[in-house]
Structure 1
Amino acid sequence: MTDGPGFGNTLVYLSLLIQRRYAQICADHDLTTAQAQLLCTVKDQPRGMGELSQLLGLAKPGLSGLVDRTERRGLVQRVASDRDRRACTVISTPLGKEVGNALYADVAARLPDIFGHLPAADRRVLEELVAGVPTDCGD
């Protein structure tokens, strides 16, 4: 049995609501959504460019531009690899950690407001349902 197009449309609508709220939270921290995703990805762990490309779903030229722009703001920096001079790792600067942690806390506090009208029990059910969604959806 498959769900009708109504459920798919509902999911698209929910996605748009979440994306708009997330974009607003990012803007409140003077970040683009791409910069915010980069910061959150490297805030606790350095990442290689290949890994970042995969995690963020960006081609290497686009990722390089994103890292360049974020690096100019003093939020991340590239560190050359000891093993391969052609490779580098992206790390969060102290300012990047501060901004990333503030963003992370703000997202955790404000994004759930989309469902603030629901009773607590319904929000818990929604949280359980979302937690059951596979993270590998065959992309």
Structure 2
Amino acid sequence: MDYGDKLFWLSVVIQRKYAQICAEFDLTPSQATLICAVRNEPRQMADLAASLGMTKNALSQLVDRTARRELVGRSSSAQDRRVVMLSATPTGKVLGEAIFAEVAKRLPEIARNLDPGDQRDFERVATAIVDTSDLSAPTSNHPITP
């Protein structure tokens, strides 16, 4: 397997572990991601769609499904009534914090078979990748749909 193959399979390992955690909270990975993204502060719907690599329509459908469970809510921006803000409900905030804590605790398990030095290197490289990535916009012309 070449480097691209390894990165592909690494993404599968991460997604599979994340999906397992989300299922324990009776959420889809998309719902859990949405809740975690708005757990600390409201976010503009358009900005959030771009950050998650989703179309506005796909995000709207995801918000509808998650709002029916009373985990997120929509409101108008105080500065511009045309701007839709998304935020976690009190229940959604508690759930988002629990999911986030579980992910932070268990996702590093993917590196458990590495020796301690390699684990530190993996953490350093993963941190550098995230810190130097533009998470404000999708990286392709193919938005993700939930």
State the TM-score, normalized to the length of structure 2: 0.85
Q: Give the structure-1-normalised TM-score.
A: 0.89
Unaligned runs of 5+ in 1: none
For residues 53-91 of structure 1, give each alpha carbon's deviation from its aligned partner in whole angstroms, at most 9, with x where no partner exists.
111111111111111111110101111233443332111
- Note the C-alpha offset of 1:110: 1.0
**Paired residue for 1:82?**
78
List 4+ stretches of structure 1 deviating above 4 A.
Answer: none
- Structure 2 residue aligned with 1:22, among 8, 18, 31? 18
In structure 2, stretches of 5+ residues that fail to align are 140-146
Matches of 1:132 and 1:111, distance apart in 2: 17
The residue aligned with 1:50 is 46
Give distance in 1, aligned partners of 2:87 and 2:30.
16
2:134 maps to amino acid: D
Identity level (%): 46
- Whether 1:37 aligns to 2:33 is yes
Rounded Cα–Cα distance in structure 2 between residues aligned with 1:73 and 1:49: 18
RMSD: 1.7
| CA 1:60–1:122: 2 relative to 1, 3 Å | same
Q: Distance in 1 between matches of 2:58 and 2:95?
A: 22
> RCO (CA 8 Å, sep 6+): is it higher in 1 or 2?
2
